Amino acid sequence: MNVGKVNRRIVLSVLWVLLLVLAAGAIAEKTSDEHRLSLDYGDSQNWVCMGEENDPAPADVFFIAPSAFGGKEGSWVMDLNNEKGRSNFIGTVNMEKGIYDQGTRFYAPFYRQVGYNVYSLPEEEGEALKKTAYADVRDAFLYYLDHLSEGRPFILAGFSQGAEMIIRLMKDLFEDEALQKRLIACYEIGWRLTGEDTQTWPWLRAAQGRTDTGVIISFNSEAENVKESEIVPAGVKTLSINPLNWRTDGVKAEKELNLGACFMDREGKITDEVQALTGAYLDEERGTLKVTDIDPEVYTATLPTLGPGVYHLYDYQFFYRNLQQNVQDRIQAYLSKTER
């Protein structure tokens, strides 16, 4: 037997297999990229709101919508060609738009978000599905920067899944000091921000007061007896700020500080407004926002994976007017600094 020939054949076989694997990987990557890039953010149909071109507003808002898609077995990512799905998506944007759009250009892209059902999957499976959602968000933001923003300062905002996506965006892109300088604030409501996050990504800075800029405003509302939730699991502390007194300690804000809880329809019209609905304080162990004057039998709306007393769906509604005012306060604080 010619050992040299056998060895050469083995080497060639191994190389051939490697080439096939690499080629398959390249094809898969190309297919994935083509799928990912199939949302053209140069097409206005892929935006719920795309600002007003001649609007003289000094600042922008880039908003990522919360979950509008429940999902079901075998259906994990929203189909944006579904008319009902698009309508639900638009409705979730309309319900929050009024907090942010006064005196700003407001931008909100469609994206292929994951369904509620993804959050009940094992973490590794869920992360794989969220890649499409985040890729769309990233593409939309980069398109906004390159073609729409014209160098203006901006607010990042998102609720629930939108908040998760907006914090991923900050982790991914905001090491760039030029972006940091343009960031008025990030409203990451209904998702968590941990000390580990701020250590790993030091450009993530939790808000410390009413008017600091370049910071992240985050909180999660829950009843006083709640000890854990899917959003803030037991043993996790989230970095929050109280939207009534703008403190980060456990000092209670009485309900008289609540400028107005607003409840609206899918067109964004306020159907009910209640002043001084509830007070709130931060749980110094969990970092969550404990609401003090809410009847859990009245405010029962919850997601399938969230238990009673987790007032996730009311995070922005309970504190609507305070958030609305704070957006204006931070814009003015930012503009005052940059005008000096």
What's the 3-state SS for 79-134? CCCCHHHHHHHHHHHHHHHHHHCCCEEEEEECCCCECHHHHHCCHHHHHHHHHHHH
Structure tokens belonging to residue 87: 């309508």
Residue 209 predicted with pLDDT over 60: yes
Over pLDDT 70: what percentage of the chain? 87
In the prediction, which pLDDT does 340 show? 63
Residue 10: other Cβ atoms inside 10 A: 10
Q: For residues 192 and 231, is the Cβ–Cβ distance under 8 A? A: yes
Greater confidence, 165 or 296? 165
Partner residues linked to 281 by β-bridges: 290
Q: What is the mean pLDDT of residues 135-162?
A: 97
Categorize the per-residue pLDDT at 198 as very low, low, confident or very high, splitting at 50, 70 and 90.
very high
In the prediction, which pLDDT does 304 show? 64
What residue has token string 């398959």?
24
Question: 187 by DSSP, 3-state: which?
Answer: strand
| Length of the chain measured in residues | 340
What residue has token string 């859990």?
296
- DSSP label at residue 145: I
Round to whole Å and give the CA distance between 280 and 299.
16
In the prediction, which pLDDT does 19 show? 32
Say how many CA atoms lie within 13 Å of 197 toward its Cβ.
19
In the prediction, which pLDDT does 18 show? 37
All structural domains of the chain with their residue ranges: 39-339
Average pLDDT score over the chain: 88
Say which range, 83-97, 250-264, 292-306, has the weakest mean pLDDT.
292-306
In the prediction, which pLDDT does 330 show? 98
Q: For residues 298 and 291, is the Cβ–Cβ distance under 8 A? A: no
Round to whole Å and give the CA distance between 44 and 209.
37
Over pLDDT 90: what percentage of the chain? 74
The per-residue pLDDT for range 166-193, each reduced to its tens digit, is: 999 999 999 999 999 999 999 999 999 9
Say which range, 68-82, 88-102, 220-234, has the weakest mean pLDDT.
68-82
Residue 288 predicted with pLDDT over 90: yes
CA 32 to chain centre: 24
Structure tokens belonging to residue 272: 């009910």
Beta strands in the chain (DSSP E): 47-50, 59-64, 104-109, 154-159, 183-189, 215-217, 221-222, 261-264, 270-274, 280-282, 289-291
Residue 151 predicted with pLDDT over 50: yes
DSSP state letters, 276-335: T---EEE-TTT--EEESS--TTTS----TTS-TTB-GGGTTTTTHHHHHHHHHHHHHHHH
In the prediction, which pLDDT does 211 show? 98
* Spatial CA neighbour of 89 closest among 112, 72, 73: 112
Residue 144 predicted with pLDDT over 50: yes
The per-residue pLDDT for range 23-42, each reduced to its tens digit, is: 333 333 333 333 444 699 99
In the prediction, which pLDDT does 73 show? 74
The pTM is what?
Answer: 0.88
Say which range, 7-11, 312-316, 329-333, has the weakest mean pLDDT.
7-11
- CA separation, residue 16 to residues 11, 22, 26, 87, 250 (Å): 9, 10, 15, 51, 64
Residue 95: other Cβ atoms inside 10 A: 24
In the prediction, which pLDDT does 32 show? 37
Residues 6 or more apart from 173 whose CB is under 8 A from it? Answer: 138, 141, 179
Structure tokens belonging to residue 339: 């005008």
In the prediction, which pLDDT does 71 show? 81
The per-residue pLDDT for range 87-142, each reduced to its tens digit, is: 999 999 999 999 999 999 999 999 999 988 888 888 888 898 899 999 999 999 99
Q: What is the mean pLDDT of residues 38-50?
A: 95
Structure tokens belonging to residue 152: 């203006």
Helix, strand, coil fractions of the chain, as percent rounded to 5: 40, 15, 45
